[in-house]
A and B are shown apart, each in its own frame.
Chain A
Amino acid sequence: MNPTPSTPTPSTASSASGKPKLALYWAASCGGCEIAVLAINEKILDVAAAFDIVFWPCVMDGKVRDIERMPDGGIDVCLFNGGIRTSEQEYMAQLLRRKSKVLVAFGSCAHEGCIPGLANLSSREEIFQAVYGNGQSTENPQELRPQVQTHTPEGEILLPYFYDTLRTLDQTVPVDYYLPGCPPEAENIWKAIEAIVSGKLPPRGTVLGPTTTVCDECPRKRSEKKIQQFKRTWQTVPDEETCLLEQGLVCCGIATRAGCGALCPRVNSPCIGCHGPNVDVPDFGARMMTALSSVLDANTPEEIERILTEGIPDPVGVFYRFSLAASLLRRSRLRKKEVGPGGNGGNGANQPTGSPAVEKASAARR
């Protein structure tokens, strides 16, 4: 699914100062990834020593026009977090792609859409209605909505266009590497930076992480599975030794790429799947659903129905919490009249040409 980027292999020493240039950017995200970068603690100094940080809007002043003026490929590494929801984010993704030798989709939002991607269950209009319309804490009698262009006596004010669909970074521009996690763990960030500094990088398009799932790192005891009831976390205090899934908690560790060291299961909390699917798995939620439905211990359709509706009241939220935007379906269907500019997933003309057929086909249907 991941498009193959066309940029050549990076050389890590190119700037005038002799240090490689690093950029960090955020799009539709919560800011947690920025904090995660700082969670490498004092090693951030090593980063500063190793790199010339040219752009990091969260932390330091910088101007887009400065980036625009840089030569293409002038940035060695760009860590890009957040999904693509607005025209501005799309522009920045394209700009940073052009200017960067290595573009890393940093964290779950850039990798597979994450929580902001869950808004793909709604249209732009529905989202606006919730935010500017009938929200409980909203008072907007004039029903004002953000306008892309507003004429005022002082001049014209421009706002980015808000798309119907949140896209992942690689649905927008070609991506070289992915660093999974919500947010990525400090040690994995450090490992990735080290790999980039030393030039020891795997083939492009790789998700940086192990090729197995969280169970591999989970110390709990597992046996053959038969599930008669799904419980929600507030309904039970799980036993600390046994596999959480076997205790009826929907633990996504079975399907989630390892690399976190099974952080959540170790503190008696089920894995929620933030590292995304294992290598070559096209749809995380589908994997989870087929796996769990395979081990339901039920004999009649009614029993199955009961187990599922009682235990999993919000299947999309459970199985696609992080990956809806990157799933095979990407979003709920938009009615025809709802499709606005960019509503098909946006700027199709700039889509990479990895396997465009299905993507365009499905895009046309939205």
Chain B
Amino acid sequence: MAEKVGVYVCHCGSNIAGMVDVEDVARWAGENLPDVAVARDYKFMCSSLGQAMIEEDIKKHGLTRVVVAACSPHLHEKTFRRVCENANLNPYLCQMTNIREHCSWVSVDRAKATVKAKAMVAAAVERVKKQQPLEPMSVQVNPATLVVGGGIAGLQATLELADAGYPVYLVERRPSIGGHMAQFDKTFPTLDCSACILTPKMSEVGQHPNVTMFTYSELEEVSGSVGHFKVKIHKKARYVDEAKCTGCGICVEKCPRKVIDDDFESGLGYRKAIYTPFPQAVPRIPVIDTTSCIWFERGKCRACEKLCPTGAVAFDQKDEHIELDVGNIIIATGWELFDCRRLPQYGYGRLANVFTNMEFERMCNAAGPTGGKIVLRDGKTEPKSVAIIHCVGSRDVNTNEHCSAVCCMAALKFGHLVMEKTSAEVYSFYIDMRTNQKSYEEFYQRLLEEGMHFVRGRVAEVTDAARKPEEEGKLIVQVEDTLVGKQRRIPVDMVVLMAALEPQRDAKELGIKCGISCSMAGWYTERHPKLDPVATMTDGVFVAGTCQGPKDIPASVAQGAAAAARVMGMITKGAVMIEPVVASITEELCSGCRICNNLCPYNAIEYDEEKGVSRVITSMCKGCGTCVAACPAGAITGAHFTNDQILSEIRGALWDAHASAAAPAQAQAPAAAQTASGS
């Protein structure tokens, strides 16, 4: 039976009609394309009147297929599929062709654009005739959620969900939750104590009955899809039994090995080989760093084990791999600090009194290695002048093009703290001062009034090579002051580099595990930059905080809460529909060559040793088509994207080529040669 196709060409106001003769396209489709029963144009096909028109046509004319030539299917495919469904037509028998983004918006010649629109409509008509009715699958949403990253964004998301009564698994790579915020002294612009506002949240998470924490753990594997993910957590051995440890700290006190703490103290302080990163750590259970522990190094000591009052130290502890079922995943893995050694002109690592912003945070912190005193690298001399250099590794084509968003405010905060704690002069070397959030500009004004010196210009160099007597023994900041148009050399005692926020080094790797993508720089890509900032292109995986891009604490908290709200929406809904556009393997055609086996980004292909064939696990397949394209035996079919459908689409797109091919006289071989015969 021949199909009856309805073709609907949208004007989209003047968006399409301004460049494409939509009436001509509709008329032409109705008159020329085989099996087209109805062809209409309409001002706004997505309006309720447009939708009603299609619905009525399906019922009245008994249409078996629908083609809508309008905007991107990203915007309105759901709309028109619903229209078909309302008229009792399987929604997968509707095809959209995007004559707006793909045609009118990118054309300058009306006549050519109209021809192109016709080709696109013809392609869609040929394709839609081959489309098969498909039924979406419904999957129950597991109410448990996995939160990856125990920084402020992850903590906020965890608490929102746990407080709403849903179970949360929180995975944190470090020994304690808290993230970068735990390292800070004060927070801008209010100057309240970072720990004072963070630690209550940490302990709330630590004690929440709905929260299961996995610290010193990493996300190892993700499979499944929205509603029913299976995740594997790699829980590294702490060598301390979490059930027995009371967090008394005797082991830490008695440990004879002291090492520089590169992580929490940014290299300014020391920790023991068995340690908790900071006093308010959650959980308060220490870990043994096997690279510095004497027992692991030389097979001697075990002082901590001997002295532990509860016998919690367990040198035979092994790494664990824990499997969990969750319905949704929130990624909140945060950022890491730009390595200032990459910009040798600023002397970090070579000139002792050049510090990074994180070192300076620790130095200002009353619980930090200097007890909150601002001193030079010698540990005792108070600086008389401090230079703060902005945009180190930010806004620079050689390193990172992005603005790290928080450094201007952090620099102002540092300026305030220096002036509060010492009598030093403070210079800020900035490119642009960016203080565009609530109360930020006011804070800038305050610092201007407090007497911080601002020099507009990117610093060329920090050097200890003095040219004048007053520069002797100082660090000289060489800069062009662009406001006065002069080169300046400013001698100071201390330089603080406002190093950039960079994506976590393994962000891409984690993204691949979870099926989400990163920008070129490495920040996770949200589903829509404006309208869907915490969802990703993978259903059930959300992002929050700085892993999506540099942002300050309030924005991170807001995203954490937003991601949690999205997850709660999914849980409350109870079930999600899964697209039936998936791949399947025809076993009779499969030779078990195993080309497809490790291609699937969703781990949805398994190999059956016994039968010697590969198989797609339908519930995990996202229909990306990678395996379909790769299968050399043509044994894998992608539903809704079969060879037949795609080749028909191509045939349709070449409608004008057929027309011209059919017309001219067929080439003819010379008559004489025709009859010449051999043998």
B residues near A361, Cβ cutoff 8 Å: 651, 654, 657-658, 661
A residues near B651, Cβ cutoff 8 Å: 355, 357-358, 361
**Interface stretch (choices B176-184, B188-196, B217-225, B583-591):** B583-591
B400 at the interface (CB under 8 A from A): no
Q: Are B647 and A282 in contact (CB under 8 A)?
A: yes
B residues near A207, Cβ cutoff 8 Å: none
B residues near A57, Cβ cutoff 8 Å: 678-679
Q: Are B599 and A294 in contact (CB under 8 A)?
A: yes
Alpha-carbon distance between A163 and B669 when the two chains are bound, in angstroms: 9
Q: A246 — nearest CB in chain B belongs to which residue?
A: B594
Known contacts: A62-B679, A158-B672, A279-B634. The answer to whether A211 contacts B588 by CB under 8 A is yes
Interface code B650-671, partner A: CB below 8 Å = 1, 0 otherwise? Answer: 1100100110111010111110
B635 at the interface (CB under 8 A from A): yes
Q: Which of A86, A159, A214, A358 has the most CB of B within 10 A?
A: A358
B residues near A288, Cβ cutoff 8 Å: 632
Q: For the complex formed, measure the closest distance between the CB of B662 and the CB atoms of chain A, giving whole angstroms.
A: 6
Q: For the complex formed, measure the closest distance between the CB of B518 and the CB atoms of chain A, giving whole angstroms.
A: 15
Q: Are B654 and A158 in contact (CB under 8 A)?
A: no
B residues near A339, Cβ cutoff 8 Å: 667
Alpha-carbon distance between A342 and B676 when the two chains are bound, in angstroms: 16
Q: B660 — nearest CB in chain A belongs to which residue?
A: A364
Known contacts: A211-B589, A253-B593, A364-B661. The answer to whether A87 contacts B674 by CB under 8 A is yes
Alpha-carbon distance between A224 and B597 when the two chains are bound, in angstroms: 6
Q: B642 — nearest CB in chain A belongs to which residue?
A: A280
Q: Are B666 and A348 in contact (CB under 8 A)?
A: yes
Interface code A212-223, partner B: CB below 8 Å = 1, 0 otherwise? Answer: 111110000011
**Interface stretch (choices A71-79, A88-96, A110-118):** A88-96
A336 at the interface (CB under 8 A from B): no
A residues near B657, Cβ cutoff 8 Å: 361-362, 364-365
Alpha-carbon distance between A355 and B662 when the two chains are bound, in angstroms: 13
Q: Are B667 and A215 in contact (CB under 8 A)?
A: no
B residues near A278, Cβ cutoff 8 Å: 589, 633-635
Q: Are A212 and B589 in contact (CB under 8 A)?
A: yes
A363 at the interface (CB under 8 A from B): yes
In-complex Cβ contact of A148 among B630, B631, B673 (8 A): B673
A20 at the interface (CB under 8 A from B): no
A179 at the interface (CB under 8 A from B): no
B residues near A215, Cβ cutoff 8 Å: 591-593, 633
Alpha-carbon distance between A223 and B612 when the two chains are bound, in angstroms: 11
Q: Are B599 and A149 in contact (CB under 8 A)?
A: no
B14 at the interface (CB under 8 A from A): no
B residues near A291, Cβ cutoff 8 Å: 595, 630-632
Alpha-carbon distance between A64 and B598 when the two chains are bound, in angstroms: 57
Q: Are A212 and B590 in contact (CB under 8 A)?
A: yes
Q: For the complex formed, measure the closest distance between the CB of B598 and the CB atoms of chain A, giving whole angstroms.
A: 4
Q: Are A212 and B661 in contact (CB under 8 A)?
A: no
Q: For the complex formed, measure the closest distance between the CB of B18 and the CB atoms of chain A, giving whole angstroms.
A: 31
Q: A344 — nearest CB in chain B belongs to which residue?
A: B667
Interface residues of A in 308-366 (CB under 8 A from B): 339, 341-344, 346-349, 355, 357-358, 360-365
Interface code A188-225, partner B: CB below 8 Å = 1, 0 otherwise? Answer: 00000000000000000000000111111000001111
A287 at the interface (CB under 8 A from B): yes
Interface residues of B in 605-631 (CB under 8 A from A): 612, 626, 629-631
Q: Are B591 and A64 in contact (CB under 8 A)?
A: no
Q: B637 — nearest CB in chain A belongs to which residue?
A: A280
B residues near A160, Cβ cutoff 8 Å: 673, 676, 678
Q: A226 — nearest CB in chain B belongs to which residue?
A: B598
A residues near B633, Cβ cutoff 8 Å: 212-213, 215, 254-255, 278, 281, 287
Alpha-carbon distance between A318 and B675 when the two chains are bound, in angstroms: 37
Q: For the complex formed, measure the closest distance between the CB of A109 and the CB atoms of chain B, giving whole angstroms.
A: 17
Known contacts: A225-B594, A294-B630, A295-B595. The answer to whether A346 contacts B677 by CB under 8 A is no
Interface code A226-256, partner B: CB below 8 Å = 1, 0 otherwise? Answer: 1000000000000000000100000001110
Q: A345 — nearest CB in chain B belongs to which residue?
A: B667
Alpha-carbon distance between A347 and B673 when the two chains are bound, in angstroms: 13
A17 at the interface (CB under 8 A from B): no
Q: For the complex formed, measure the closest distance between the CB of B366 and the CB atoms of chain A, giving whole angstroms.
A: 46
In-complex Cβ contact of B667 among A213, A225, A254, A346 (8 A): A346
A132 at the interface (CB under 8 A from B): no
Known contacts: A288-B632, A364-B657. The answer to whether A63 contacts B670 by CB under 8 A is no
Q: A163 — nearest CB in chain B belongs to which residue?
A: B669
A270 at the interface (CB under 8 A from B): no
A183 at the interface (CB under 8 A from B): no
- Kindly list the 10 A-B residue pairs having the minimum CB-CB distance in the complex, ordered from nearest: A255-B632, A364-B661, A294-B630, A281-B634, A216-B591, A361-B657, A161-B673, A215-B591, A291-B632, A360-B661
Q: Report A's interface with B, CB cutoff 8 A.
A: 57, 62-64, 86-88, 90-92, 148-149, 158-161, 163, 211-216, 222-226, 245, 253-255, 258, 277-282, 287-288, 290-291, 294-295, 339, 341-344, 346-349, 355, 357-358, 360-365
A sample of 20 inter-chain contacts (CB < 8 A) reads: A64-B679, A87-B670, A87-B674, A148-B672, A149-B672, A158-B675, A161-B669, A212-B588, A213-B632, A213-B633, A224-B594, A254-B633, A258-B591, A280-B634, A282-B643, A287-B631, A291-B631, A341-B669, A343-B667, A348-B667
Q: Report B's interface with A, CB cutoff 8 A.
A: 588-599, 612, 626, 629-635, 643, 647, 650-651, 654, 657-658, 660-662, 664, 666-670, 672-679
Q: A213-B633, A294-B629, A358-B647 are in contact. List 16 more A-B contacts (CB 8 A).
A: A63-B679, A64-B679, A87-B674, A91-B674, A149-B670, A159-B673, A163-B669, A214-B591, A245-B593, A280-B643, A282-B643, A287-B631, A294-B630, A295-B595, A348-B667, A358-B658
